[in-house]
Amino acid sequence: MPRPFRFGINLLNPGSAAEWRAKCRRAEELGYDVLLVPDHLGWVAPFPALVAAAQATERPRVGTFVLNAGFHRPALLAREAATTDALTDGRLELGLGTGYVREEHESAGLPFGSPAERVDHLRRTVQELERLLGSPGHRPAPAQRPRIPLLIGANGDRMLRLTARHADIAAFTGARPSAGSPTGLAPLTADELAERVARYREYAADRAEPAELNLLIQTVAVTDDPAAALGPLLERQPQLTLDQALTLPIVLVGTLDGIVARVRAQRERFGFSYLTVLEPDMETFAPVMAALREA
């Protein structure tokens, strides 16, 4: 039996306290299960934003999507995560990744490192968090036991191995580094993503409990004019045709019935039951969530 759907909203834009609370309440009204924040310079600081989100709402869980491990040291991160989990009454989901924006590291005066070095740092961070937060004597103490749920965002083989071993939620980016792309990233085709999911399942074959699988959706549009909706994406990814863009797993563009059918088909093919959308699509995705829950 497929895992039930969950839906997260990645809140990107800072604002006043009143604006932040109103936005979080609106996300709860729309039915989102998880209120998420990323970890980029110039955007909101994750942990205080999550505490405020939890105080403004009653039902949704809160989470980082995802923390740049290069910005954090394990002992300090354990303190932040445990405090946030306690102050949100055990609603925290801790998402981690390697970080990928060199300019942010340079602005923060932090080393960027090679891809291998960033993965090594993330691995050490995960191991230390498990040791620290799993200790009954850790202070402050998190509210959740046996531990705060861990999400890891991954694509490459080493990251997929780490995710298979440690994560409660395996988050797939749906993109890969590409020097030829204006954004530095190129979206994965459905077949490429299927290969990554299959590789993860190979690494996770001996898990006692399967992880929840997450996919970050980049574009949502309920429309009869997909060409207009996908114009900005095609400008950023000129190597794609319109037909190719419509088949990307991270794109949900079409009629409401068509998008609902596509989400169900992707859960069947890939196992994605936890979908995250970006703040600009918060209202647009709401009828899709409602239709998926009614069916």
Q: What tokens appear for 270 in the block? A: 């890939």
The pLDDT confidence band at residue 175, using thresholds 50, 70 and 90, is confident
Are 152 and 170 contacting, i.e. CB atoms less than 8 angstroms apart? yes
The DSSP code sequence of 58-76 is: SS-EEEES-EEGGG--HHH
pTM of the model: 0.96
Q: In the predicted model, what is the mean pLDDT of residues 194-217?
A: 97
The pLDDT confidence band at residue 294, using thresholds 50, 70 and 90, is confident
**Which amino acid would we find at residue 34?**
V
Q: pLDDT tens digits for 91-150?
A: 999 999 999 899 999 999 999 999 999 999 999 999 999 999 999 999 999 999 999 999
- Predicted pLDDT of residue 1: 78
Q: What percent of the chain has pLDDT over 90?
A: 91
Domain residue spans of the chain: 6-218+256-294
Cis status of the peptide bond prior to 146, with omega within 30 of 0: yes
Q: In the predicted model, what is the mean pLDDT of residues 252-262?
A: 98
C-alpha 54/C-alpha 191 separation (Å) is 38
Q: What tokens appear for 39 in the block? A: 């970890």
C-alpha 149/C-alpha 164 separation (Å) is 14
Average pLDDT, the chain: 95
Q: In the predicted model, what is the mean pLDDT of residues 165-191?
A: 84
Nearest residue to 81 (alpha-carbon basis) of 50, 43, 118, 120: 50
Q: Is the pLDDT score of 179 beyond 80?
A: no
Residue where the block lists tokens 């929840």: 212
Distance, CA of 12 to chain centre: 12
C-alpha 45/C-alpha 165 separation (Å) is 28
The residue with greater pLDDT, 177 or 88, is 88
Q: In the predicted model, what is the mean pLDDT of residues 82-92?
A: 98
- Predicted pLDDT of residue 160: 98
CATH 3.80.30.20 fits 6-218+256-294, yes or no: no
Residue 11 neighbours by CB under 8 Å, 6+ apart = 23, 24, 27, 35, 36, 37, 44, 49, 53, 279
- Predicted pLDDT of residue 184: 63
Residue 60 neighbours by CB under 8 Å, 6+ apart = 24, 27, 28, 32, 33, 34, 35, 53, 91
Residue where the block lists tokens 């001996």: 206
- Predicted pLDDT of residue 181: 59
C-alpha 226/C-alpha 44 separation (Å) is 32
Q: Is the pLDDT score of 47 beyond 80?
A: yes
The partner residues of 171 in beta bridges, in order of sequence, read: 153, 214
Q: What tokens appear for 63 in the block? A: 């989470």
C-alpha 175/C-alpha 213 separation (Å) is 16
C-alpha distances (whole Å) from 46 to each of 35, 117, 218 are: 11, 24, 20
Rg, Å, the chain Cα set: 19
Q: Is the pLDDT score of 35 beyond 80?
A: yes
